Structure 1
Amino acid sequence: MKMLATGLLIALAVIFLFAFALQERYPWLAYVRAAAEGGMVGALADWFAVTALFKHPMGIKIPHTAIIPEKKDQIGASLGQFVEQNFLSEEIIRTKLDSMQVARKAGTWLARPEGAERVATEGAAAIRGALRVLDDDAVRDVLESMFRRHVVDPQWGPPAGRMAQRVFEEGHHHQLVNLIVDSLADWVLANPEVISRLVAERSPSWVPSFLDDLVGERVQVQAERFLLDVQENPNHQLRVALDNYLTGVARDLQEDPKTMAKADAVKEQVLDDPRVRELMTQTWTTIKNALMTAAEDPESELTRNFTSAVQDFGTRLVNDPELAAKVNGYVADAAGYLVRTYRSDIAGVITETVERWDAQETSEKIELQVGKDLQFIRINGTVVGSLAGLAIFTVASAVFG
């Protein structure tokens, strides 16, 4: 295109020379000369204008030339500001997202098996990558810190007492008491010889054996009657005493400093430092191995359940307008927050990128992108200049001729 535009200028220069030389012999060539002269003026003017955008014409540093190389940073800043004001607007982003119906489109894709499988595959890859990158010791430290903060450090007495008090007040412990009493009754019935042996072992040596047998049988009968009475009578004094005792323990766990201190002592004995560390190590190892195994096996139960859940969620996005509206709202809110908070940073990427470009290279890149149209400007200037020169000469000849 440069060669074409320059070629027209050269052609007009040649025509001008021939017409200028022969116009006295052939007067009509004066019109040709005027058209060629106007075309050359238009071509040169537009060549200067186009060239001045990208470089100094003929290397001469004329003021207000080489505009793009000289003003590169200002152009980048203006471009970034233009994008920030006209594109990174929260209102524009929300309007665009509303018209896109993000939830419905996403739901349609997720509801398809290939879409759900793709999400599951990418999710598994992300899990594997995260587990490989995570430092096991750091994770254990975090888990241990959380376990200590929420389990070890707080007092166990008051919460355990409140929980126990609620259990006892609602009578949930009665089933356990019934189970214990029933088990004792069954054992007494099944092991009469044990009671006889215990009586014999604890009686004086001078007591006759038949008397030991009589006492053992009596103890056996009384024990059976006692346990049967406890089983049949929900208001038995043993049950009442047990309820009172348990209620007192629950109250002491919340109010009595000594009882609370004993509960904390038990906690310290059960969860001392080495045990907590070992527990966290085992917990993290178990979780990590389970996740790695599930993530590496596309047929694992976790993967299948996750894929099914993704498909179900996609179907709900398509069929449930209320859910889709909520998701669209969340997406719009998130995009609005990002634009509102980081619009200047996003636009700054344009400014900083342009600033890092080499001035000459930037000029060449822009010229290559729009150069064809710029050369058409030169061609149009040549044509318009020719027509203007011919018209001016014609009018002048008619008026002053």
Structure 2
Amino acid sequence: MERIERTRSGEPGGGPAEPAQARGGADGSSGTAASAPARPAPLASFAYTAADEEKRRGVRRMKTTATGLLLLVALVYVLATWAKNAGVGGWPGFVAAAAEAGMVGALADWFAVTALFKRPLGLPIPHTAIIPTKKDQLGASLGSFVGENFLSGDVVRGRIQALGIGGRLGAWLAEPDHADRVTAELATALRGALTVLRDSDVQAVVAEAITRRANAAEIGPGLGKMLEKIVADGGHRRVVDLICVRAHDWLVLHGDSVMDAVQGGAPGWTPRFVDKRVGERVYKELLRFVTEVRDMPGHPARASIDTFLTDFAADLQTDSDTRARVERLKTEILGRAEVQDVIASAWASVRTMIIAAAEDEQSELRLRARASLLTFGARLSTDGRMQAKLEGWLEDAAVYVVTRYRTEITSLISDTVASWDADQTSKKIEAHIGRDLQFIRINGTVVGALAGLLIYTVSQAFGA
């Protein structure tokens, strides 16, 4: 019995805890084949911890109890057999039979429990040390079991339908406190995302997207329709009024410049006083013309402007040459470095504005987000069609993930188990379930004794 207990508790003399082929050599290679692929390093999270050692001490206490019970029934068997051989009639036979069967049950269950984690008595008995030697197969089987029974489309759909996510989510979001919490979390996520993004990368993407979109769309017809509508509605007249006012004011302030320009363009053979008189005359006529256009809504020049704009709007829509010129002008403008800088710098302004709004609890952005969440939650909690639609999306997404990535998910289980060290795995599992397994030994002792007593009683009754 001392030999048995040393084996079970892992003391010296108990034999190897696992077969040689299940252990690697000192250099980490396999003990049986030098060409065997190296195992992944054990996961740090699976290391044997102080908490595991505490549980293992509890297992040892239960082992002592189970072994003590075995020793007790063995002692009872010896005493009962001695009394029977000494001529004591009656009870010694019954007690000896019960004790004998109890020992058999205890030893059988000891063997079964020990065989899970190591070789009983160190003997190479087939189908023992199951966990160390069959760890990888158990991991693969566990992965297959999970894939077949938990990662199937029908199981996922049934589980999501049973949860009633739509109604529960709607009721949760309809609570103001919850809406505030979600709004705050979204603001934090948005602020974090904008902080992580590199301005240069975003600016390049924004500039490229705007430029590509502008180059892809012809703007001539659109501009023509807009200009046609503006002229038809008289919206251009304020612009004409403004131009006339500014032109009049400029002429009043820069009359000398106008007259000098006229004189400078006169032929060299004309007398200077003639040039001066011509310049003054041109200036006065120009000032009079601009003044009349400014003060007379029905001036013929205004009608000419209307006609010109109407014709230009039509050419923008129908004349291929005009449209081609507009496109070339658009390309030239977009290609200028100044324009690209303006487009790219727009991101900086937008980013600053969004971050400020996300940080301010009373900003319009957060208030609108909160109101939208409350409205959405209230509607989702009562609208069955919306609930069904949302749950349908969730079901489809979940089924897509589990069916498309089922192999990867199950291989995560099997690969993780394969990466565990066999000895550490055995010790850790025994620390967690070994205490309950020792109850099997105790139960085997008690049940075996009762069964032996019953068998002996029946045999005595029929034998009499």
Per the normalisation by structure 2, the TM-score is 0.71
Offset of residue 82 of structure 1: 0.8
Letter in 1 for 2:386: L
The aligned counterpart of 1:303 is 366
The aligned counterpart of 2:415 is 352
Give a deviation string over 1:197-217, Cα, whole Å, max 9, x none: 999x99x969x9xxx8xx97x
1:26 and 2:93 aligned? no
The aligned counterpart of 1:392 is 455
Offset of residue 295 of structure 1: 2.0
Give 1:279-358 correspondences, 5 Å limit. Answer: 279-358=342-421
Offset of residue 178 of structure 1: 4.3
For residues 237 and 86 of structure 1, the distance between their equivalents in structure 2, rounded to whole angstroms, comes to 82
Instruction: Report the RMSD for the aligned CA atoms in angstroms.
Output: 3.9
For residues 297 and 347 of structure 2, the distance between their equivalents in structure 1, rounded to whole angstroms, comes to 50
Give a deviation string over 1:298-317, Cα, whole Å, max 9, x none: 22222222122211211121
Letter in 2 for 1:364: K
Give a deviation string over 1:62-88, Cα, whole Å, max 9, x none: 111111111111111111111111111
Q: Which runs of 5+ in 2 are unaligned?
A: 1-61, 264-272
The aligned counterpart of 2:72 is 11
For residues 127 and 6 of structure 1, the distance between their equivalents in structure 2, rounded to whole angstroms, comes to 63
For residues 380 and 180 of structure 1, the distance between their equivalents in structure 2, rounded to whole angstroms, comes to 102
Offset of residue 239 of structure 1: 4.6
My pick for the range that moved more, 100-109 or 375-384, is: 375-384
- Look up the SS of the partner of 1:65 in the other structure: coil
For residues 361 and 150 of structure 1, the distance between their equivalents in structure 2, rounded to whole angstroms, comes to 61
For residues 240 and 207 of structure 2, the distance between their equivalents in structure 1, rounded to whole angstroms, comes to 41
Offset of residue 190 of structure 1: 11
For residues 357 and 331 of structure 2, the distance between their equivalents in structure 1, rounded to whole angstroms, comes to 35
1:161–1:251 contact (8 Å) kept in structure 2: no
For residues 349 and 228 of structure 2, the distance between their equivalents in structure 1, rounded to whole angstroms, comes to 38
For residues 187 and 345 of structure 1, the distance between their equivalents in structure 2, rounded to whole angstroms, comes to 74
- Look up the SS of the partner of 1:23 in the other structure: helix
The aligned counterpart of 1:144 is 207
The aligned counterpart of 1:164 is 223
Offset of residue 245 of structure 1: 4.2
Residue of 302, 307, 311 corresponding to 1:244 = 311
Give % identity: 38
2:357–2:363 contact (8 Å) kept in structure 1: yes
**Structure 1 residues 228 and 127, CA, compared in 2 at 3 Å: closer, same or farther?**
closer
For residues 12 and 282 of structure 1, the distance between their equivalents in structure 2, rounded to whole angstroms, comes to 89
Offset of residue 237 of structure 1: 7.8
- Look up the SS of the partner of 2:219 in the other structure: helix
Letter in 2 for 1:53: L
- Look up the SS of the partner of 1:15 in the other structure: helix
Runs of 4+ in 1 over 6 A off after TM superposition: 181-191
2:225–2:313 contact (8 Å) kept in structure 1: no
For residues 190 and 316 of structure 1, the distance between their equivalents in structure 2, rounded to whole angstroms, comes to 62
Offset of residue 97 of structure 1: 1.3
**Structure 1 residues 333 and 49, CA, compared in 2 at 3 Å: closer, same or farther?**
same
Letter in 1 for 2:74: A
The aligned counterpart of 1:81 is 144
Offset of residue 26 of structure 1: 0.7
Residue of 88, 95, 101 corresponding to 2:158 = 95
**Structure 1 residues 60 and 189, CA, compared in 2 at 3 Å: closer, same or farther?**
closer
My pick for the range that moved more, 260-269 or 1-10, is: 260-269
The aligned counterpart of 2:234 is 175
For residues 270 and 340 of structure 1, the distance between their equivalents in structure 2, rounded to whole angstroms, comes to 48
For residues 9 and 288 of structure 1, the distance between their equivalents in structure 2, rounded to whole angstroms, comes to 76
The aligned counterpart of 1:52 is 115
Per the normalisation by structure 1, the TM-score is 0.81
**Structure 1 residues 6 and 338, CA, compared in 2 at 3 Å: closer, same or farther?**
same
For residues 244 and 332 of structure 2, the distance between their equivalents in structure 1, rounded to whole angstroms, comes to 37
Give a deviation string over 1:266-319, Cα, whole Å, max 9, x none: 53145413430x224421211121122122222222222212221121112113
1:38 and 2:101 aligned? yes
**Structure 1 residues 396 and 328, CA, compared in 2 at 3 Å: closer, same or farther?**
closer
Q: Which runs of 5+ in 1 are unaligned?
A: none
| Residue correspondences, number | 386
Higher helix share: 1
- Look up the SS of the partner of 2:190 in the other structure: helix
For residues 240 and 194 of structure 2, the distance between their equivalents in structure 1, rounded to whole angstroms, comes to 51
The aligned counterpart of 1:265 is 329
Offset of residue 23 of structure 1: 0.9
For residues 317 and 181 of structure 1, the distance between their equivalents in structure 2, rounded to whole angstroms, comes to 55
For residues 385 and 180 of structure 1, the distance between their equivalents in structure 2, rounded to whole angstroms, comes to 109
